[in-house]
Amino acid sequence: MTTKTVSVKQANMPISMKHVHEIAEFITNKPVDTAIASLENVLKKKQGIPFKKYQSKGHKHGVPTGYPQKATKFMIRLLKQLKANAKDSGEARVIIKSYFLGRSGYPRYLSGKVSRGGKRTYIRIVGEYEVQEKAQQPQQVSEAVGNAKDNK
């Protein structure tokens, strides 16, 4: 079996890069269906996202968790697109392997002196799926042998 990759990317998302990083760490190395189900539980506040790198919960014991609603909605939409991209190539079981994260450009306004802060995030999610190699069936040898006998 060979593995193939499928990816999806989105730029200029108005969400926190820190929240997206924590969500992406949470879903890495999981199947897409499991990741979507986990993120839907985050939206319902049944399951939390562990904030390991960007701990913004103060002096609390253990790993702080949060429920980033806006970023979770965007990530669910991206994961559904990733699954659809894999279905186009014929496979439905995709495992999320890696992600690339960065800041996007900030919006410009007409007056040069007015600048507003805004969050803009770029993300690319890469998944892998296995494809079974189809064994090429040899041409019917008996027909080829039979035709050679007829020609003699």
Domains of the chain (ranges; CATH) run: 2-107+119-151 (3.90.470.10)
Task: Please state which of the ranges 37-46, 98-107, 129-138 shows the lowest mean pLDDT.
Answer: 129-138
Tell me how far the alpha carbon of residue 6 is from its chain's centroid: 9
Task: Please state which of the ranges 30-39, 40-49, 79-88 shows the lowest mean pLDDT.
Answer: 79-88
- Could you give the CA distance from residue 103 to residue 21 in angstroms, rounded to a whole number? 11
Question: Residue 152 — pLDDT band, cuts 50, 70, 90?
Answer: low
Question: Residue 4 — pLDDT band, cuts 50, 70, 90?
Answer: confident
Summarised one tens digit per residue, pLDDT across range 53-100 is 877 665 666 778 889 999 999 999 999 999 998 887 766 689 999 999
pTM above 0.85, yes or no: no
